């Protein structure tokens, strides 16, 4: 099959964890593979245009399930720390995306290698989030169990408004990609990569120069922006559950945005238009990437990525 030539632009595509485990589904492996196949339809459109492609993905639903497994089996096997769970999910989810992508390329007659890279992301051990964790993870806890898990396991537990009590962990700002040189070499060979799954494995550098894991989770969109910066990507696609960025979301006076500049994004962010738990990290990631040299950010839904690439839907964010 003929692949359209381009100037070998590089695109980072960030898939939400909910694209693989959909809301209202059980989330079994058969469903996850089916969702992965659907999620990569838009990525194939970029590949047909000749792009170098790096795929990142979230892991929120999967981390939650993994933590439940840890809690339910801790009397049988040693529990796993959060950093190892993130690494395990990078491998497992990376395998699903990698095999699915290999099959799509095969059926399309496109010869490109595909690889998953376990990716460590540098964070600051003194990040404010480490000192005051706010990221909710894992199952809902009963109020009477809070004191016990706090004392026995050293967890920090806070009330998740409207849901109950849950464990909170640090979510420090990503600073750099440890494996960026390896990623760059593989991109030069036009390998399609699955990188920084779940925001990456948080690590920090010790005084002696050695790496050490940090028990935390990193926001996938912020990590994707750092990755895009470090691999000198031209474009960043952040795929979510809505077709466009919207002002006054879910209100009668809601306004969908076709375009957005960095200055406008900053203003709306400061005015509270984009909450931290939803669109906020994507907007901040877009700002970070464009100010670090990127040329275009597209925010759109997973199912309509092909139309977003063509400019028919989605919100296109630019520096000016």
Q: Is 112 helix (H, G, I), strand (E, B) or coil?
A: coil
Q: Whole-angstrom Cα distance, residue 238 to residue 22?
A: 17
Spell 188-218 as b/e; 16+ CB within 10 A means b. Answer: eeebbbbbbbbbbbbbbeeeeeeeebbbbbb
Catalytic residue list contains 244? no
Residue (of 166, 175, 83, 169) closest to 131 by Cα position: 169
DSSP string, 301-317: ESTTHHHHHTTSSSEEE
- Residue 228 near residue 236 (C-beta atoms within 8 A): yes
Q: Is 203 helix (H, G, I), strand (E, B) or coil?
A: strand
Catalytic residue chosen out of the listed positions 60, 65, 104, 135: 135
- Residue 17 near residue 27 (C-beta atoms within 8 A): no
Catalytic residue list contains 138? no
Catalytic residue chosen out of the listed positions 17, 94, 138, 314: 17
Catalytic residue list contains 18? yes
In this structure, what DSSP letter does residue 226 have? H
Catalytic residue chosen out of the listed positions 199, 220, 288, 314: 220
Q: Whole-angstrom Cα distance, residue 310 to residue 74?
A: 49
Neighbouring C-beta atoms of residue 246, cutoff 10 Å: 17
Catalytic residue chosen out of the listed positions 16, 198, 244, 282: 282
Catalytic residue list contains 126? no
- Residue 248 near residue 187 (C-beta atoms within 8 A): no
Going from the C-alpha of 93 to that of each of 31, 57, 58, 116, the distances in angstroms are 13, 9, 10, 9
Catalytic residue chosen out of the listed positions 18, 27, 266, 280: 18
Catalytic residue list contains 60? no
Residues classed as catalytic = 17-18, 135, 220, 282
């Amino acid at each position: 099959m003929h692949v359209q030539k381009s100037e070998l632009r590089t695109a980072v595509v960030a898939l939400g964890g909910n694209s693989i485990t959909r809301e209202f589904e059980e989330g079994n492996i058969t469903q996850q593979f089916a969702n992965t196949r659907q999620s990569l339809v838009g990525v194939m459109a970029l590949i047909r245009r000749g792009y170098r492609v790096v795929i990142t993905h979230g892991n929120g639903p999967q981390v939650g399930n993994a933590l439940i497994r840890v809690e339910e089996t801790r009397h049988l096997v040693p529990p796993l720390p959060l950093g190892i769970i993130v690494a395990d999910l990078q491998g497992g989810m990376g395998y699903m995306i990698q095999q699915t992508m290999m099959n799509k390329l095969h059926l399309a007659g496109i010869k490109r290698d595909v690889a998953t890279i376990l990716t460590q992301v540098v964070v600051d051990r003194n990040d404010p989030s480490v000192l005051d964790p706010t990221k909710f993870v894992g199952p809902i806890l009963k109020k009477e169990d809070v004191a016990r898990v706090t004392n026995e396991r050293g967890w920090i537990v806070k009330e998740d408004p409207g849901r109950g009590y849950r464990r909170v962990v640090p979510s420090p700002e990503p600073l750099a990609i440890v494996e960026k040189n390896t990623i760059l070499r593989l991109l030069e060979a036009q390998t399609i990569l699955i990188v920084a799954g779940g925001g990456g494995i948080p690590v920090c550098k010790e005084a002696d120069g050695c790496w050490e894991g940090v028990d935390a989770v990193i926001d996938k969109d912020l990590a994707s922006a750092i990755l895009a910066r470090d691999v000198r990507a031209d474009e960043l696609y952040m795929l979510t559950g809505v077709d466009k960025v919207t002002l006054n979301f879910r209100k009668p006076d809601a306004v969908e945005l076709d375009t957005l500049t960095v200055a406008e994004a900053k203003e709306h962010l400061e005015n509270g238009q984009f909450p931290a738990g939803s669109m906020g990290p994507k907007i901040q990631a877009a700002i970070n990437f464009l100010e670090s040299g990127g040329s275009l950010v597209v925010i759109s839904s997973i199912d309509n990525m092909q139309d977003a690439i063509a400019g028919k839907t989605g919100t296109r964010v630019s520096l000016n």
